[in-house]
Chain A
Amino acid sequence: MPRSTTMIASQPATGPVTLLIGTRKGAFFLRGDRSRRTWKLSPPHFLGQIVHHLVLDPRDRRTMLMAARTGHLGPTVFRSIDLGKTWKEAQTPPAFPKAPEGQNGRVVDHVFWLTPGHASEPNTWYAGTSPQGLFRSDDGGVTWKLFSYINDDPQYREWMGTVQDGTPDGPKLHSILVDPRDPAHLYFAMSGGGVHESADGGKKWSPILQGLEVVEGFDLATATFHDPHCVRLCPSNPDRLYQQNHCGIYRLDRPSNQWVRIGNNMPKRIGDIGFPMVLHPRDPDTAWVFPMDGSGVWPRVSPGGKPAVYKTRNAGQTWARLNKNFPASQAWWTVKRQAMTADVHEPVGLYLGTTSGEVWASRTGGDNWSCIARHLPEIYSVEAAEI
């Protein structure tokens, strides 16, 4: 779909940052001061609930949605319109349609991903679930409906595969992206199932798989075998996407459909396997990744027990290792796909949460790091909110 490149300018924020942290045992707010030097941790919200994602609506900077379930209870979405002081449950959480008698219908195991809609659609949200389902709310998250034909389309259902084809925690639909220039221009990704684009508000979707690699021996042309871990659209240039995939780090410059494996430029001893992908809010050439060990049985911890963030300032041509103040050894960190993020300050603040319950922050775009919270439950998601 041809589109002219549009560079979108935005001014750096100067106010305090609050980190919205989803964990396996509840949600936490980590409130920073204006200088982002001191941080204060809130008591847990919904202690014991598995919180996959907690997101502030950037359009009103007041509404928050939280994707939650417990080990026993089914999935739901909680909604706050007062910055997390009080919460109400969605009246109709994301759920698949009841199957006709005698047929097996799908069951939402958990809501995995939440994306606020376009600025021109103030009450619209999208949700991705496990197993893969794409849902939309047009009332600020109170009621949810299946969005688009893909949920029942035979081709898409084939690409979604079975539970055995997905991640150990269940196959997921994630990385729902809305083009800031056009509310009808959408992307989503599936683990497994590839990256998909719609130019008409979800009436038609097409996979974008060219250039992506899959695990050796599988068919490159079959979306089922593609496992994008995290896809991000450049806020400052929506014609550019970056992706941390199961099989490498990629960049896509539209209107091309050809992904370029920029992870090949990473040091060979580190590799280009990981989960998160973080982009600079104003510079489309700058991005950060958190590589993890993809050798052997895929331990997916910091290679050699030496955690480091890698940063590119030239769209993936070269990468620089950033690990100042990280543990120098014996730190076997895993950072999940939603657990690393950036704020919109200058210099950009970076934040990552580990599955071992630590939150690390950098006020300097990754040059220096400090641990700003520890002893939390397993961290699933970290979002930086300007509140």
Chain B
Amino acid sequence: MTVHIPSALRSYTGQKSEVEVEGRTVADALSELDRRYPGLRFRIITEQDTIRAHIRIFINDEQARDLSATLRPDDQIHIICALSGG
């Protein structure tokens, strides 16, 4: 599946906006992402394995509420920095 990387995290991915990963769940995909780009996961997932307050993860057009959400090989995963801040 493809993970779409927001601009705020592209310093980790060498400015790549899309990364191909494998995994059965969002947790798997993010572990794979963190293995390749160390530190990325903790910026979006807390130490309690919850999605950070101003981060949203969508699988295709459906929001994943937690890391146990399941994935299919052709899924598009979007990491979104929520509309907030100033």
Could you tell me if A76 and B47 are in contact, using CB atoms closer than 8 angstroms?
A: no
Produce 1/0 per residue, B39-83, CB < 8 A to A. Answer: 100111111111010110000000000000000000000000110
- B48 touching A73 by the CB < 8 A rule? no
Contact A74 B44 (CB under 8 A): yes
Q: Which of A107-157 contact B (CB under 8 A)?
A: 107-108
Contact A71 B42 (CB under 8 A): no
Residue of A nearest to B46 (CB): A107
Residue numbers in A under 8 Å from B38 (CB-CB): 89, 91
Q: Is the CB of B84 within 8 A of A74?
A: no
Among B8, B38, B82, residue most surrounded by chain A Cβ atoms (within 10 Å): B8
Give the Cβ gap from A168 to chain B, nearest Cβ, in Å.
15
Contact B39 A91 (CB under 8 A): yes
Which chain B residue lies CB-closest to A49? B8
Residues of chain B with a CB closer than 8 A to A96's CB: 47-48
Contact among A72, A89, A97 for B47, CB-based, below 8 A: A97
A-B contact count (CB 8 A): 56
Q: Secondary structure of the B side of the interface? A: loop
Asked whether A72 lies within 8 Å of B52 as measured between CB atoms, the reply is yes
Q: In the bound complex, do residue A99 and residue B55 qualify as a contact, i.e. CB atoms below 8 Å apart?
A: no
Complex Cα spacing A369 to B82, Å: 43
Given A76-B39, A76-B43: A98 touches B48 (CB 8 Å cut-off): yes
Interface status of A93 (Cβ within 8 A of chain B): yes
B52 and A73 contact, CB distance less than 8 A: yes
- Once A76-B39, A76-B42, A89-B39 are accepted as A-B contacts, the answer to whether A70 and B47 lie under 8 Å apart by CB is no
Tell me, rounded to whole Å, the shortest Cβ–Cβ distance linking A170 to chain B: 12
**Contact-residue size bin, chain B (C-beta under 8 Å from the other chain):** 20 to 34
Task: Decide if A105 touches B8 in the complex (CB within 8 Å).
Answer: no
- B9 part of interface (Cβ distance < 8 Å): yes
Contact between A74 and B81, CB atoms less than 8 A apart: no
Task: Report the separation of the CA atoms of residues A104 and B50 in the bound assembly, to the nearest whole angstrom.
Answer: 11
**How far, in angstroms, from A106 to B50 measured CA to CA in the complex?**
11
Residues of A within 8 A of B45 (CB): 74
Across the two chains, which residue of chain B brings its CB closest to A104? B48
CB–CB A72/B42 < 8 A: no
Task: Tell me the complex Cα distance, A107–B39, Å.
Answer: 16
B55 touches A72 (CB 8 A): yes
Q: Does B14 contact A (CB under 8 A)?
A: no
Complex contact B84–A73 (CB within 8 A): no
User: B38, B39, B47, B86: which has the most chain A beta carbons within 10 Å?
Assistant: B47
Residues of A within 8 A of B86 (CB): 71
Question: What are 16 A-B contacts with C-beta separation under 8 Å?
Answer: A70-B8, A71-B54, A72-B54, A72-B81, A72-B82, A72-B85, A73-B43, A74-B45, A74-B52, A93-B39, A93-B42, A96-B48, A98-B47, A105-B48, A106-B48, A107-B48
Residues of chain A having any CB pair with chain B under 8 Å: 70-74, 76, 89-91, 93, 95-99, 104-108
